[in-house]
Amino acid sequence: MPRPHNRRPAPPRADEVPGFPARRAALRLLDAVLRRGDPLELALHGAAQGLPAADRALVHAIAAEVLRHLPDLDALIDGATKQVLPDDAKARMVLRIALAQVLRMDTPAHAAIATALPLVDGGPRKLVHGVFGTVTRSEPALPDPPTLPAEVVARWTDQWGEAMPQAAARAYAVRPPVDISLRNAGETAQWTEALNGASFAPGHVRLPEGAVIPELPGFAEGAWWVQDIAASCAARLLGAGEGRTVLDLCAEPGGKTMQLAAAGWRVLSIDQSKKRLERLSENLARTGLSADVIAADLRQWQPDGAADAILLDAPCTATGIYRRHPDVLHRIGPRQIAELAELQGELLARAAGWLKPGGRIVYATCSLERAEGEEQIERFLAEHDDFTLVPADAAELPAGMAPDAQGWLRSLPDMLADQGGADGFFIARLAKASN
């Protein structure tokens, strides 16, 4: 009778490892962001295609934690091996994913490494396992606040001074608050109390941490919409509409459109993306506000007649919303800033021709780069002697926010810092000569 063979059972295939598909999608997502420069939110659809909603949320969470702590994760990896791992090496990326789960998401070490090793796919599994073990046995802790990428610190220090990147890092460590804008600013006190929030201006409420948006009073009825307090300042600078016409250019996701409609403006909302405009239309329907929604490329489109006012929330690098979108700190550099600044200048000059004499235009970007803000307006005014800057007044702005000496609003990471902060924005108001 033949003797039985004492063979070890075959290891499970990668797809059979619980949780592996989500980690594989996280690897794809990080590759899309860090190697190709794709925005995190846009790349998520392709990377996590076919996964259930819960797994898609996990993929996003893993990638976001890696991006938020990337320099510090790399420091731990480099300190645990003498072998130099290139930034784009799969082994480094897999280690980032595994360590981020252990150090930021309370994933047990054995579970993190079990789903990480199959990602190496024929690569140096022993190296990854060894580095992971060395790091986790030392009971490491990631620094608080997180370390910003060196290139970002250098760029922001050059533009704003040493204190600004330090404030940005502190803001990075705090969960961004959720602000809402009210359809009826006269009900500010009522909604502040009903939502247990705090208000810094008429028509604004800052929600308590942990609020579940769709379940809150007033959401389904369309009494309010989510909008960061800094973003809301652009429409505030146009005041009451009294039936006049305003163009909301690059209008999605629609917060400014709804502000303007609620303030009595006849709004034409233009955005290039039909898909994004669907969300704007849904928000208008929910709030009972109205606007003419137009899908068009502003470089080809033009209105039938001149407008009384224009709000141009120009396409930008979005470095001002780095707290919510950590990918911008890793995929935005001088080339992207220069390219977008050129587009902004083109759109601003084009929009200026659509304004009635005596009309006003508000230019805004959610960027912390001077090239997309101060330098843009300085150049525009130098080239358009029929326009002047109309300084903002502190009385027009939320408490704790004030214009610079030049008269424009620049929200930096230290603004409202003791109350949760605000997104980084630049907003300037210009007037066209009457004749």
The residues that are catalytic are: 366
- C-alpha 247/C-alpha 269 separation (Å) is 6
Is residue 252 helix, strand or coil?
coil
Q: Tell me what percent of the chain is helix, strand and coil, each rounded to the nearest 5.
A: 45, 15, 40
Q: 85-99 burial, b for 16+ CB within 10 Å, e for fewer? A: beeeebbbbbbbbbb
Cα-based angle 156, 345, 301 (whole degrees, multiple of 5):
135
- What is the gyration radius of the CA atoms in the chain, in angstroms? 25
Count of residues making up the chain? 435
Is residue 203 helix, strand or coil?
coil
Which residues of 61-203 form beta strands (DSSP E)? 179-182
At 75, list the tokens.
């420091």
Q: Which one, of 49, 425, 45, 428, lies nearest residue 231 by Cα?
A: 425
- C-alpha 152/C-alpha 65 separation (Å) is 18
DSSP H helix total and E strand total for the chain? 16, 11
- C-alpha 363/C-alpha 160 separation (Å) is 21
- C-alpha 95/C-alpha 82 separation (Å) is 15
Q: Which residue has the tokens 């800033």?
A: 337
List CB contacts of 205: < 8 A, sequence separation 6 or more.
179, 180, 182, 188, 191, 192, 195, 197, 198, 199, 224
Q: Which amino acid is at 237?
A: L
